[in-house]
Structure formats: C-alpha cells, structure tokens
Structure 1
Amino acid sequence: MDNLGVVFLSEVVGTALLVLLGCGVVANVALTKNKGFGGGFLMVTIGWGLAVFVGVIVSYNSGAHLNPAVTLGLVASGATEFGSGVPVNVVSVLTYLAAEMIGAFLGAIVVWLAYKQHFDQEPEAANTLGVFSTGPAIRSYGWNLVTEIIGTFVLVFVVIAFGGGRQGESGGLAALGALPVALLVIVIGTSLGGPTGYAINPARDLGPRIAHFLLPIKGKGSSDWSYSWVPVVGPVIGGVLAGWASLVLLPILT
C-alpha cells in the first residue's frame, strides 16, 4: 500500500507536468494574443516531446507510465510488476489509471491559469478547444480511430522493446530513459500526428477536455464530445495490440 501511494503521487505529478507543458505549447501557438502565435506544428511537436521528457524525469518512482495506453499495454504484454515493486493486479492498474486522469485534469487547469487573459480574449472557440484536446484535420471517425491506433501502437511497442520485452519492475516510459522517449514522441508527432493531432494517450485528451467543459472560459464553445471517444478508444486499442504483439515479436532471451 505504501508503494501504491508513491505510484499514485508520482503519476499525478508526472502527468500533470506533461499536460501543463504540452497543452501549454499549444496555447502559446494557437491563442492569437500570444508571442508564440503561429509557431506551427513543428513547435507543438517538439514541445510535446520535451513535455514528456519532463514528465518522465519527475515520475521515475512509478516507472512513468503517464498514459493509460502504456499501463494497459504493459498488462497485455504479460507484465507481473509495475514501478516501485507494485504487482500487476486490478487495484494497481486502477491506481495508475486514476492518477493519470487526475494529473491530466489538473495540468489542464494550470494551463488555463497561466493563459487566463489570453483565453478571455481569444475570438476563435476552436483555438481554445485545441489547447485542451485533439481534433481531426479531416473528420472521419473510422479513419481517425485507425490513425490513433497506429500512433499508440508505435509508442507502446517501442517502450516495451526498450524494456527488453515483457516489462518488469521498471516497466513504463522510464524504461527508455527520458531523452529517448521524448524523441520517440517527437517522431510519432512529425510522422503520424497530422491527421488527428496524435493524442496517443486517453488521459491527455479526456482529462483536459473535461477541464475545458468545466472551466469558466469566455466564448469557449463546444467541447466536441462527439469526437471525444476516438482519442480514448484508439489509444487503448493500440496499446493493448502492442502488448500482445510484443509477446510474439519481442521474445525474451533466456
């Protein structure tokens, strides 16, 4: 139980910082009154990669999942233990998932506080929503789902590969080290991020989307709940498929 408390706090802090800095770079680029306005997709992609770097650094105690797709992918890969020596069971999985969602929600709130005046003066509701959650360039739910599955598969499969196959006590993004995982997220964004904005993380999208719905943002418009299931279901499917694939494609040498 003591270890579960460490895991919970570690995942909350890591995911909160991930979302704060990731959504923060989107706010800087998308909100029209900012000095970074118009910085472009590459700036956003690099910012998100470095945001993951920070999240991994501060959540080493939990193995730095920071993402329900990573947690579920590790379960599917046959992991028996998570970070901090926590055995894989229903309670530990739910602890990771809850911490990731709470951390993402809190990180989004801090982004709103940092950019409060800019949100209040933003004329385009779509720009405001884009700070908090992803949306497709071309809305086609089936193909948007496929894109999220592919992107998340790459993320989780490489995480497992760096860990030497099925994960042990170091399972999670921390198994790669902070810099490699940052570069992995950047390459996923630059290669596969265009169609959907590459959520590749249910908590990263749903937590901030809930924050957008609840926060008193002037002229914020819809939270686009009709699309919200795609960046949740797609990454979950991609992560689980990566875990299963690792059992065949990433055998453990004995």
Structure 2
Amino acid sequence: MTPLFAEFIGTTLLVLLGNGVVANVLLNKTKGQNSGLIVIAFGWAMAVFIAAFSVAAYSGAHLNPAVTLALALCNKFAWSGVFGYICAQMAGGMVGAFLVWFIYRKHFEDTECGDTKLAVFCTGPAIRSMSGNLASEVIATFVLVFAILHMVSPQVSLGAMDALPVGLVVLGIGVSLGGTTGYAMNPARDLAPRIMHSILPIAAKRDSDWSYSWIPVVGSLTGGALAASLHLVLAL
C-alpha cells in the first residue's frame, strides 16, 4: 500500500465510521436513534483508532490536513508530500461520506429535518458566533495536534496499539469540548463531507451552510499550526 493510498483508505474509514455513528444517533428509525453525545464521542474515538491502526504502518496515519501541516511545520514530514496527502485525505473524506449516505439512505428519506441531515455530514454550531466558534475549533484542534506531536516518537511503545492513545484524546475532546461546534478538527472530516452533502441526491435537504464552512477549515489549520509552533518552542 502506498502512503497516498493509505491516507485515502484511512480517511475513508475515519469518515465512514465517524459520520456513521452520527447518522445512527440522529436519523429516524435507526437502532441507535437518540443515544446521545456520549455515543457519538465514543464512536468517533473508535473511528480514529480503527483508521489509524489500519494504515499507520504505511503512511503514518495523518488522516487530517491539520496534522499533515503541523508535522511539516515541525520538520517531521516533508513539505513535498503535503499536497498529495491533503488531496488523498479529502478524497477519502468524500468517499466515506458517500458510503454513509448509501448505507443510511432509507433513513435519510424517512427523516424530514434538513438540519439533521446536514449534521450527519458536517459540523455546525450550537450557538452561532463566528468568533466563538472559530476559537472553539482552534482550541480543540490545538489539543489534538499537540498531543499527537508528542506521540510521533513515543518513549514507551504499545506496538500495534500505538493508535489507541490518539483515539482516547479524541474521546476526551469530544466529551469535554464537543458541545459548542461538534469538534470538527479536520477539514477532511468536515469540508469533504459538506461537499458531498451539496451534490448527493438527498431528499428534502437544506443548503450546506457554506457561510459557516470556513470555520472548521481555518480553525483546525490554525490550531494545528499553533500546536506545532509551541512544540518547536519547547524543543529549543
């Protein structure tokens, strides 16, 4: 498996399982309907673990443009590979979102609320405040990437289970910081599925909320860059 294909497969798995748990909780007549934020947070944590576990040996399992950018800023990843990784991640995010829609398409048809359908694909704020929402995404992604940067070369290796701590970090962020914006922290997890929401033939869907779409992208990339900057300062 090439690194680019691994990033594509890994991000596909990430979004398939992560957005899949959101669909299971939010859409009508699913087995997990109304099971709540804890189930979503745990499902996303497991999505990160499974995706990273599957492809880490081939690509390092970035699965997130914010992580790729941060690793490049820290000189832990070649700048020449950044564009290709991000393209593979975005493509994987789109395919993962398509598969979620395909699996749950009958439940999308049975669900009337356009906001609920959009929430399966991408994040949105509980209270719309662009500055506050941006700050939430910056801080959440900073926590994620700062933790990951200290896991790149762990002093105590868990072998094949090295992906587990990242999943636990995502779980912690979800239950602690996920109540404001839904903790996107990843353009491939938010923008790529949002694009799919806009083009898929989803019955009675609303618009894709493009006026908000820049928040998860700018917030996550900024949070990742700040985490990398602090990591570099601490390494001096």
TM over 0.5: yes
Q: CA deviation at 1:54?
A: 0.9
Q: 1:1-254 to 2 correspondence within 5 Å?
A: 6-60=2-56, 61-79=58-76, 81=77, 88-90=78-80, 92-164=81-153, 177-249=162-234, 251=235
- Give me the CA root mean square deviation: 1.6
Q: Deviations over 1:171-220 (max 9, x none)?
A: xxx99821111101000111111100000101100010000000000001
Is 2:146–2:231's contact at 8 Å kept on the other side of the alignment? Answer: yes
Q: CA deviation at 1:121?
A: 1.2
Q: How many residues align?
A: 231
Q: CA deviation at 1:21?
A: 0.4
SS state at 1:162 partner: coil
Task: Give, in whole Å, the separation in 1 of the partners of 2:163 and 2:174.
Answer: 17
* One-letter code aligned to 2:147: V
Q: Deviations over 1:94-134 (max 9, x none)?
A: 01100000000000000011001011111111110000000
SS state at 2:2 partner: helix
Task: Give, in whole Å, the separation in 1 of the partners of 2:218 and 2:22.
Answer: 23
Identity of aligned residues (%): 51
Task: Give, in whole Å, the separation in 2 of the partners of 1:192 and 1:148.
Answer: 9
Q: Structure 1's 156 and 176: CA in aligned 2 closer, same or farther, altered over 3 A?
A: farther
* One-letter code aligned to 1:53: F
Task: Give, in whole Å, the separation in 2 of the partners of 1:243 and 1:180.
Answer: 19
Task: Give, in whole Å, the separation in 2 of the partners of 1:223 and 1:213.
Answer: 6
* One-letter code aligned to 2:122: S
Q: TM-score normalised to the size of structure 2?
A: 0.94
Q: Structure 1 regions of 5+ residues with no counterpart?
A: 82-87, 166-173
Task: Give, in whole Å, the separation in 1 of the partners of 2:161 and 2:85.
Answer: 19
Task: Give, in whole Å, the separation in 2 of the partners of 1:65 and 1:73.
Answer: 10
